Amino acid sequence: MQQRYVGNSGLRASVLSLGTMSWAQETDEQDAMELLHTFVDAGGTVVDTAASYSDGEAEAMLGSMLGDVVARSELVISSKAGASSKDGRQRIDASRGAMLAALDASLARLGTDYLDLWFVQCWDGNVPLEETLSALDLALRSGRARYVGISNFNGWQSAKAAAIAGFPIVANQSEYSLLNRSPEAELLPAVEDAGLGLVAWAPLGRGVLSGKYRGQIPAGSRAAGDRLAGYVGKYLEARDSRVVEAVHMAAKGLGRTALDVSLAWVLSRPAVATAVVGPRNAVQLKELLDAKPAPLPAEISRALEDVSG
Protein backbone atom coordinates (compact mmCIF):
# COMPACT_ATOMS: atom_id res chain seq x y z
CA MET A 1 0.00 0.00 0.00
CA GLN A 2 1.26 3.46 -0.88
CA GLN A 3 2.60 5.63 1.94
CA ARG A 4 2.39 9.41 2.08
CA TYR A 5 3.82 12.11 4.31
CA VAL A 6 1.21 13.86 6.44
CA GLY A 7 1.36 17.54 5.55
CA ASN A 8 4.80 19.07 5.92
CA SER A 9 5.76 16.62 8.67
CA GLY A 10 7.94 13.52 8.61
CA LEU A 11 5.01 11.32 9.68
CA ARG A 12 4.29 8.66 7.07
CA ALA A 13 0.82 7.19 6.69
CA SER A 14 -0.69 4.48 4.51
CA VAL A 15 -3.16 5.97 2.03
CA LEU A 16 -5.92 3.94 3.69
CA SER A 17 -6.41 4.09 7.44
CA LEU A 18 -8.36 1.40 9.30
CA GLY A 19 -11.18 3.03 11.26
CA THR A 20 -12.49 1.41 14.45
CA MET A 21 -15.75 3.26 15.09
CA SER A 22 -17.73 0.02 14.80
CA TRP A 23 -15.40 -2.03 17.03
CA ALA A 24 -17.05 -3.45 20.16
CA GLN A 25 -20.41 -2.61 18.60
CA GLU A 26 -21.12 -4.02 15.11
CA THR A 27 -17.62 -5.55 14.87
CA ASP A 28 -16.75 -8.18 17.48
CA GLU A 29 -13.27 -9.13 18.65
CA GLN A 30 -12.82 -12.01 16.21
CA ASP A 31 -13.76 -9.89 13.20
CA ALA A 32 -11.61 -7.01 14.46
CA MET A 33 -8.63 -9.32 14.80
CA GLU A 34 -9.08 -10.53 11.24
CA LEU A 35 -9.47 -6.96 9.98
CA LEU A 36 -6.28 -5.81 11.66
CA HIS A 37 -4.23 -8.79 10.50
CA THR A 38 -5.44 -8.48 6.90
CA PHE A 39 -4.95 -4.71 6.84
CA VAL A 40 -1.34 -4.93 8.05
CA ASP A 41 -0.56 -7.81 5.68
CA ALA A 42 -1.71 -5.56 2.82
CA GLY A 43 0.76 -2.85 3.87
CA GLY A 44 -1.62 -0.71 5.90
CA THR A 45 -0.12 1.08 8.88
CA VAL A 46 -2.59 3.66 10.26
CA VAL A 47 -5.27 2.49 12.68
CA ASP A 48 -7.64 5.28 13.73
CA THR A 49 -9.57 5.13 16.97
CA ALA A 50 -10.90 7.47 19.67
CA ALA A 51 -11.59 7.52 23.38
CA SER A 52 -15.25 8.06 22.51
CA TYR A 53 -15.63 4.97 20.32
CA SER A 54 -17.77 2.49 22.26
CA ASP A 55 -16.84 4.37 25.45
CA GLY A 56 -13.22 3.31 25.11
CA GLU A 57 -13.90 -0.32 24.28
CA ALA A 58 -12.63 0.09 20.71
CA GLU A 59 -9.25 1.23 22.09
CA ALA A 60 -9.22 -1.63 24.58
CA MET A 61 -9.97 -4.13 21.82
CA LEU A 62 -7.12 -2.77 19.71
CA GLY A 63 -4.81 -2.81 22.72
CA SER A 64 -5.54 -6.48 23.36
CA MET A 65 -4.16 -7.30 19.90
CA LEU A 66 -0.89 -5.42 20.12
CA GLY A 67 1.97 -7.87 20.36
CA ASP A 68 -0.18 -10.92 19.58
CA VAL A 69 -1.83 -10.07 16.25
CA VAL A 70 0.57 -7.31 15.22
CA ALA A 71 3.64 -5.66 16.71
CA ARG A 72 3.14 -2.17 18.11
CA SER A 73 6.03 -0.96 15.96
CA GLU A 74 4.17 -1.91 12.78
CA LEU A 75 1.31 0.50 13.44
CA VAL A 76 0.71 4.21 13.31
CA ILE A 77 -1.98 4.54 15.98
CA SER A 78 -4.09 7.69 15.96
CA SER A 79 -6.64 8.45 18.63
CA LYS A 80 -8.81 11.38 19.67
CA ALA A 81 -10.03 13.03 22.85
CA GLY A 82 -12.39 15.84 23.73
CA ALA A 83 -15.74 14.21 22.96
CA SER A 84 -17.86 11.60 24.71
CA SER A 85 -21.47 10.48 24.65
CA LYS A 86 -23.91 9.87 27.47
CA ASP A 87 -27.57 8.91 27.17
CA GLY A 88 -27.29 9.31 23.42
CA ARG A 89 -26.03 12.88 23.66
CA GLN A 90 -22.58 14.05 22.66
CA ARG A 91 -20.59 15.94 25.26
CA ILE A 92 -17.68 18.15 24.24
CA ASP A 93 -14.90 18.89 26.74
CA ALA A 94 -11.55 19.95 25.32
CA SER A 95 -10.27 21.48 28.55
CA ARG A 96 -6.66 20.76 29.48
CA GLY A 97 -7.66 18.53 32.39
CA ALA A 98 -10.16 16.49 30.41
CA MET A 99 -7.86 16.10 27.44
CA LEU A 100 -4.87 14.90 29.47
CA ALA A 101 -6.99 12.54 31.57
CA ALA A 102 -8.43 11.07 28.37
CA LEU A 103 -4.94 10.67 26.92
CA ASP A 104 -3.72 8.71 29.91
CA ALA A 105 -6.84 6.54 29.83
CA SER A 106 -6.35 5.88 26.10
CA LEU A 107 -2.75 4.84 26.62
CA ALA A 108 -3.79 2.50 29.44
CA ARG A 109 -6.48 0.86 27.32
CA LEU A 110 -4.14 0.50 24.37
CA GLY A 111 -1.29 -0.79 26.52
CA THR A 112 1.23 1.51 24.91
CA ASP A 113 3.43 4.37 26.09
CA TYR A 114 2.64 6.69 23.20
CA LEU A 115 0.28 7.54 20.37
CA ASP A 116 1.73 8.21 16.96
CA LEU A 117 -0.92 10.87 16.32
CA TRP A 118 -3.27 12.42 18.88
CA PHE A 119 -6.20 14.64 17.88
CA VAL A 120 -8.48 16.99 19.72
CA GLN A 121 -11.72 15.58 18.38
CA CYS A 122 -13.89 18.71 18.23
CA TRP A 123 -13.74 22.46 18.61
CA ASP A 124 -14.90 23.44 22.10
CA GLY A 125 -16.39 26.93 22.15
CA ASN A 126 -16.50 26.92 25.95
CA VAL A 127 -12.75 26.48 26.41
CA PRO A 128 -10.02 28.89 25.30
CA LEU A 129 -8.21 27.45 22.32
CA GLU A 130 -4.89 28.18 24.03
CA GLU A 131 -5.88 25.86 26.87
CA THR A 132 -6.78 23.01 24.53
CA LEU A 133 -3.54 23.47 22.61
CA SER A 134 -1.55 23.40 25.85
CA ALA A 135 -2.69 19.81 26.34
CA LEU A 136 -1.42 18.87 22.88
CA ASP A 137 1.86 20.62 23.64
CA LEU A 138 2.35 18.70 26.89
CA ALA A 139 1.54 15.42 25.15
CA LEU A 140 4.31 16.14 22.66
CA ARG A 141 6.86 17.28 25.23
CA SER A 142 6.18 14.31 27.51
CA GLY A 143 6.49 11.81 24.65
CA ARG A 144 2.96 10.54 25.08
CA ALA A 145 2.23 11.65 21.51
CA ARG A 146 4.69 11.75 18.63
CA TYR A 147 2.50 14.07 16.53
CA VAL A 148 -0.71 15.99 17.18
CA GLY A 149 -3.64 17.20 15.13
CA ILE A 150 -7.09 18.74 15.15
CA SER A 151 -10.33 17.07 14.10
CA ASN A 152 -13.60 18.50 12.81
CA PHE A 153 -12.26 22.06 12.95
CA ASN A 154 -13.44 24.31 10.13
CA GLY A 155 -11.17 26.53 8.07
CA TRP A 156 -10.79 29.56 10.33
CA GLN A 157 -10.52 27.38 13.41
CA SER A 158 -7.75 25.33 11.78
CA ALA A 159 -5.90 28.45 10.65
CA LYS A 160 -6.10 29.99 14.11
CA ALA A 161 -4.91 26.80 15.83
CA ALA A 162 -1.93 26.44 13.50
CA ALA A 163 -1.03 30.12 13.87
CA ILE A 164 -0.99 30.32 17.67
CA ALA A 165 0.10 26.81 18.68
CA GLY A 166 3.84 27.43 18.84
CA PHE A 167 4.45 23.76 17.98
CA PRO A 168 3.72 21.70 14.85
CA ILE A 169 0.12 20.63 14.24
CA VAL A 170 0.46 18.13 11.42
CA ALA A 171 -3.08 17.07 10.50
CA ASN A 172 -6.75 17.93 10.35
CA GLN A 173 -9.23 15.07 10.35
CA SER A 174 -12.44 15.93 8.53
CA GLU A 175 -15.26 14.27 6.64
CA TYR A 176 -14.67 14.53 2.88
CA SER A 177 -16.16 12.68 -0.07
CA LEU A 178 -18.07 13.22 -3.28
CA LEU A 179 -21.16 13.45 -1.06
CA ASN A 180 -19.62 16.02 1.26
CA ARG A 181 -17.42 18.55 -0.47
CA SER A 182 -17.88 21.31 2.10
CA PRO A 183 -14.15 21.27 3.06
CA GLU A 184 -13.30 22.75 -0.33
CA ALA A 185 -14.85 26.13 0.45
CA GLU A 186 -12.67 27.05 3.40
CA LEU A 187 -10.96 24.11 5.07
CA LEU A 188 -8.73 22.81 2.28
CA PRO A 189 -7.20 26.24 1.53
CA ALA A 190 -6.54 26.76 5.25
CA VAL A 191 -5.01 23.30 5.67
CA GLU A 192 -2.78 23.73 2.63
CA ASP A 193 -1.63 27.18 3.75
CA ALA A 194 -0.76 25.89 7.23
CA GLY A 195 1.07 22.83 5.88
CA LEU A 196 -1.32 20.33 7.46
CA GLY A 197 -2.28 16.98 5.98
CA LEU A 198 -5.97 16.15 5.65
CA VAL A 199 -7.13 12.85 7.13
CA ALA A 200 -10.41 12.25 5.28
CA TRP A 201 -13.03 10.28 7.17
CA ALA A 202 -16.12 8.77 5.52
CA PRO A 203 -14.49 8.96 2.05
CA LEU A 204 -17.22 6.62 0.77
CA GLY A 205 -20.03 8.89 1.93
CA ARG A 206 -20.68 6.74 5.03
CA GLY A 207 -20.89 3.69 2.74
CA VAL A 208 -23.46 5.15 0.37
CA LEU A 209 -21.03 5.61 -2.54
CA SER A 210 -20.42 1.85 -2.58
CA GLY A 211 -23.87 1.48 -4.10
CA LYS A 212 -25.20 -0.88 -1.45
CA TYR A 213 -28.18 1.43 -0.86
CA ARG A 214 -29.21 1.82 -4.49
CA GLY A 215 -33.00 1.34 -4.33
CA GLN A 216 -32.95 -0.49 -1.00
CA ILE A 217 -31.64 -0.64 2.54
CA PRO A 218 -30.03 -4.07 2.91
CA ALA A 219 -30.65 -6.06 6.07
CA GLY A 220 -27.61 -5.94 8.32
CA SER A 221 -26.38 -2.64 6.91
CA ARG A 222 -25.70 0.40 9.09
CA ALA A 223 -28.79 2.14 7.74
CA ALA A 224 -30.92 -0.82 8.82
CA GLY A 225 -29.79 -0.65 12.44
CA ASP A 226 -30.95 1.70 15.17
CA ARG A 227 -27.55 3.04 16.21
CA LEU A 228 -26.31 4.31 12.83
CA ALA A 229 -29.47 4.72 10.74
CA GLY A 230 -29.31 8.51 11.09
CA TYR A 231 -25.57 8.52 10.39
CA VAL A 232 -26.13 6.91 6.97
CA GLY A 233 -29.54 8.39 6.28
CA LYS A 234 -28.02 11.83 5.83
CA TYR A 235 -26.85 10.70 2.38
CA LEU A 236 -29.91 8.84 1.13
CA GLU A 237 -31.67 11.85 -0.42
CA ALA A 238 -32.46 12.28 -4.13
CA ARG A 239 -29.50 14.60 -4.75
CA ASP A 240 -27.16 12.01 -3.24
CA SER A 241 -28.62 9.29 -5.45
CA ARG A 242 -27.64 11.29 -8.53
CA VAL A 243 -24.04 11.38 -7.32
CA VAL A 244 -24.06 7.65 -6.57
CA GLU A 245 -25.37 6.90 -10.07
CA ALA A 246 -22.69 9.13 -11.62
CA VAL A 247 -19.99 7.27 -9.70
CA HIS A 248 -21.32 3.93 -10.90
CA MET A 249 -21.55 5.13 -14.49
CA ALA A 250 -17.93 6.31 -14.29
CA ALA A 251 -16.84 3.03 -12.72
CA LYS A 252 -18.56 1.00 -15.42
CA GLY A 253 -16.97 3.05 -18.17
CA LEU A 254 -13.51 2.70 -16.66
CA GLY A 255 -13.84 -0.99 -15.83
CA ARG A 256 -13.36 -0.17 -12.16
CA THR A 257 -15.52 -0.41 -9.03
CA ALA A 258 -17.49 2.36 -7.35
CA LEU A 259 -15.25 1.97 -4.28
CA ASP A 260 -12.21 2.40 -6.48
CA VAL A 261 -13.54 5.53 -8.18
CA SER A 262 -14.70 7.15 -4.92
CA LEU A 263 -11.41 6.54 -3.11
CA ALA A 264 -9.36 7.60 -6.13
CA TRP A 265 -11.17 10.91 -6.25
CA VAL A 266 -10.63 11.67 -2.55
CA LEU A 267 -6.99 10.60 -2.56
CA SER A 268 -6.25 12.86 -5.52
CA ARG A 269 -7.50 15.97 -3.73
CA PRO A 270 -5.06 18.61 -2.43
CA ALA A 271 -3.54 17.99 1.00
CA VAL A 272 -5.23 14.59 1.51
CA ALA A 273 -2.77 12.26 3.21
CA THR A 274 -4.96 9.26 4.04
CA ALA A 275 -8.58 8.16 3.89
CA VAL A 276 -10.16 6.47 6.91
CA VAL A 277 -12.29 3.48 5.92
CA GLY A 278 -14.44 1.56 8.39
CA PRO A 279 -15.11 -1.98 7.18
CA ARG A 280 -17.09 -4.01 9.69
CA ASN A 281 -15.89 -7.40 8.47
CA ALA A 282 -13.23 -9.08 6.33
CA VAL A 283 -15.44 -9.19 3.22
CA GLN A 284 -15.82 -5.41 3.22
CA LEU A 285 -12.11 -4.92 3.86
CA LYS A 286 -11.19 -7.20 0.95
CA GLU A 287 -13.35 -5.07 -1.37
CA LEU A 288 -11.50 -1.98 -0.21
CA LEU A 289 -8.07 -3.55 -0.54
CA ASP A 290 -8.91 -4.89 -4.00
CA ALA A 291 -9.60 -1.34 -5.12
CA LYS A 292 -6.58 0.17 -6.86
CA PRO A 293 -7.30 3.88 -6.61
CA ALA A 294 -5.13 5.04 -9.50
CA PRO A 295 -5.82 8.65 -10.53
CA LEU A 296 -9.00 9.20 -12.50
CA PRO A 297 -8.90 10.71 -15.99
CA ALA A 298 -9.29 14.47 -15.71
CA GLU A 299 -12.54 14.53 -17.67
CA ILE A 300 -14.08 11.91 -15.35
CA SER A 301 -13.08 13.89 -12.27
CA ARG A 302 -14.60 17.04 -13.73
CA ALA A 303 -17.84 15.24 -14.57
CA LEU A 304 -18.14 13.86 -11.03
CA GLU A 305 -17.44 17.29 -9.58
CA ASP A 306 -20.09 18.86 -11.79
CA VAL A 307 -22.68 16.39 -10.49
CA SER A 308 -21.64 16.58 -6.85
CA GLY A 309 -20.84 20.28 -6.64
Which residues belong to the active site? 53
Looking at this protein, which amino acid is placed at residue 10?
Answer: G
Alpha helical stretches, state H, the chain: 29-41, 57-65, 96-110, 129-141, 155-164, 187-194, 229-233, 238-254, 258-267, 282-290, 298-308
State the Cα–Cα distance between residues 284 and 17, nearest whole angstrom: 14
CA-CA-CA-CA torsion sign (8, 1, 266, 233): negative
Report DSSP state, residue 167.
S
Q: Which residues pair with 149 in a beta bridge?
A: 119, 171
Rounded Cα gap, residues 62 and 52, in angstroms: 14
d(CA 5, CA 45): 13
For 131, counting Cβ atoms within 10 Å of its Cβ (0-12 exposed, 13-18 middle, 19+ buried), the class is: middle
Evaluate whether 128 touches 73 at the Cβ level (below 8 Å). no
List Cα–Cα distances, 164 to 168, 182, 185, in angstroms.
10, 25, 22
Measured CA distances, 237 to 179, 212, 213, 240 (Å): 11, 14, 11, 5
Helices 282-290, 258-267: axis angle to 10 degrees equals 60
Q: Nearest 5 degrees, angle CA 36-CA 256-CA 18?
A: 15
Distance separating alpha carbons of residues 18 and 191, to the nearest angstrom: 22
